[in-house]
Amino acid sequence: MLMLNSISIDLNMEKKMETENKCAAYPHEFLMTNLSVFHLLVPFVALSSNYTTIILVISFGASILSLLWIVKKARITCCTSSKDSPLIKAHWQQAWKRSKLLLIGYAISVGVLLVGWFIASSQADPNMFDILLAVFSWLAVIPLVFIVFGLFVLSTASSTRAKQGQFPRKSAFSLGSETE
Tell me the C-alpha distance between 24 and 167, whole Å.
9
Among 58, 55, 76, 71, which residue's Cα sits nearest to residue 103?
A: 71
- pLDDT tens string, the chain, 180 residues long: the values are 555 455 555 667 677 788 888 888 999 999 999 999 999 999 888 888 888 889 989 999 999 999 999 999 888 866 665 677 888 889 999 999 999 999 999 999 999 999 999 999 999 898 999 999 889 989 999 999 999 999 999 999 999 999 999 999 875 444 444 433
